[in-house]
Amino acid sequence: MAQGTAYAIADRQVDVETPEHVAIGYELADLGSRFTALLLDFVILTAVQLALVVGLLVTGALSGSQWGMGMGAALAVAAWFVMTWGYFVWFEGFRDGQTPGKRRLGIRVVHDGGFPVTTQGAAVRNLLRLVDIQPAPSWIVGGAFMMFHPLTKRVGDLAAGTVVVRDRSGEPIPEESAAGPGASLGPPRLSAEEFAALAMYVGRRAQLDPAVRTGLARKLMERVGHRFAEHPQRASTSPDAFLVLVHGEEGARRQAAGAGGRAGTAQATALVRRQRGEWKEYETLLRRAEGRGLKHLGEKSVSRFAALYRAVAADLARARTYGGSPALLYNLERSVGAGHNLLYRPEARSWASFRAWATGGFPALVRRRWRPILLASALFYLPALLVFGLVRAEPARARELVPAMMIARAEEAQAREARGEGYYEVPEVGMPLMATSLISNNVQVSFLAFAGGVLAGLGSVFVLVFNGVHLGSVAAVFANHGASLHLWTFVLPHGVIELTAICIAGGAGLWMGSALLLPGRRTRREVLVARGREAVSLIGGTALMLVAAGLIEGFVSPSELPRTTKLTLAAVFAAMLASYLLLAGRRQAAATRSPGEPPS
């Protein structure tokens, strides 16, 4: 089925059309609620991180061994990194677009068509926080975009094709009082002026800030509340909800009395009387499915839910035609929107799908996007070669490009060789901490290379060239001191994987950035979203590669293994990597390739 598509924006509301051709209105979240939710999430995240890190460090210390302390510190670094980057992606991607902070503020992330945010969409919008927070941590870039964009989007939302909306909650349906058995409408209780003021409030309340809405509801109750002192729901209902209820009832009374009320026609009342049994059944199934998902309802219940969803969507269209009250339309929109999100929610990721992506999907995507990856490799290695030649020809240039600590290490290289020491040695108990620290750093570099692509690729170019210049200058310094083999014995075992991953990450950023420069026949926004999803899939693969490289750099590269063993391992790792990227996934790609499509 096709998913919903946005078709109108008005008064802080975006309307989307479902595949059933029924419009649902979503109220856009304002800057204040989004900022408050973000602050609350950071408080929660930091508190959990600190508790977890302290717990791991204390557990390691209580072990009474240096190995235990090292493992505790390594796990603490890994936990901090995973939570920093995974908190928002996990909650938004797997909890229907709501972090704890967003849930508390009643807002959620959805895709532009109104359907639930995917894991890829959540990853794109949150990795691009690296751009939105600039100048770090001021959030000036993201704030400026949200202030001037009609849908209050930041850079991450633009690339992910997402929007943040208010989560709509149900309200009483006023026509039910007129549709109940033996119900008697009676004469209107409000004057024409009072009803006009009430109708104006109800018509505009969805666009009001919550604090403003609460204040206006209180003032309006002071004006008209005395007429409803005996109403059975007066004491148990908030002023805002009570006014909506009263508006529907008064509209029905005025309609029956021929007063020309704006809400609650006889046809809408008849619709409520006829369909409320199905609506109640639908709401029951909806509550069950929202808690555990549609798959837990069972095949028969899912079929019934889908049929009821279509029926309620049709009832919403009828209620609009009949001139139903705002509260009736609001409740039906909420019900249809919730059902839409459940039915069109992306299929949950499983370990089987992850394994298929890791073993075949990722390398196939690398081959399919070889052009931007090749360009990224050129932007990395050509500056490295140029700077290498420059520093070799003019050794004094090294002082301008290489840190003093690295120059000192090159000067000591031959002496270390004479003592039988390698480029860098780590005690065995410190290897786990070194591995996790290196993985965290390298993965963040790949995230930066990806995020920089949204700046028309310029950020990715900077990261690639900068790292290439650093590699070439360091290699030249060691070569000038006759210690090239000393350096490369350490670098190559993990470097064949790490440097390839950086080039793929840079290619992912360039591919996403190309949407702004070379969009083709589609709009830049459409192409940015499509290429952003592919780019973040490439970043996921490079993260796995960098985990492997970090483990090698932490446990193999600084070890006391003989030089020949390390270089042999480097050759083996290079062959395995080449086989993986060039051959893996070809069978799956051939099975899904369209006739005439070139192989990946």
pLDDT digits 0-9 by tens, 15-64: 666 666 666 667 788 888 899 999 999 999 999 999 999 999 999 888 87
Buried b (16+ CB within 10 A) or exposed e, 539-559: bbbbbebbbbbbbbbbbbbbb
pLDDT in tens, 499-521: 999 999 999 999 999 999 989 88
Rounded to whole angstroms, how far apart are CA atoms 95 and 7? 26
Band of residue 349 on the pLDDT scale cut at 50, 70, 90 = low
Task: With CA atoms as reference, report the closest residue to 237 among 166, 172, 331, 173.
Answer: 172
Band of residue 253 on the pLDDT scale cut at 50, 70, 90 = low
- Measured on CA atoms in the order 459, 437, 122, 163, is the torsion positive or negative? negative
Residue 588 has pLDDT above 70, yes or no: no
Percent of the chain with pLDDT over 90: 40
This prediction has a pTM of: 0.76
DSSP state of 359: I
Task: Considering only CA atoms, give the Rg of the chain.
Answer: 31
Task: With CA atoms as reference, report the closest residue to 159 among 145, 169, 172.
Answer: 145
The predicted structure's pLDDT at residue 421: 80
Helices 431-451 and 66-94 pack at an angle, to 10 degrees, of: 30
The predicted structure's pLDDT at residue 191: 79
Residues 6+ apart with CB under 8 A from 314: 20, 22
- The residues pairing with 109 across neighbouring beta strands, listed in sequence order, are 164
pLDDT in tens, 112-169: 877 778 889 999 999 999 999 998 888 899 989 998 888 889 999 999 999 998 875 5
The predicted structure's pLDDT at residue 1: 38
Rounded to whole angstroms, how far apart are CA atoms 231 and 223? 16
Band of residue 265 on the pLDDT scale cut at 50, 70, 90 = low
pLDDT in tens, 434-484: 888 888 989 999 999 999 999 999 999 999 999 999 999 999 999 999 999
Q: Integer distance in angstroms from the first to the last C-alpha of the chain?
A: 28
Question: Average model confidence (pLDDT) for the chain?
Answer: 84
Stretch (H or E) spanning 438: helix 431-451
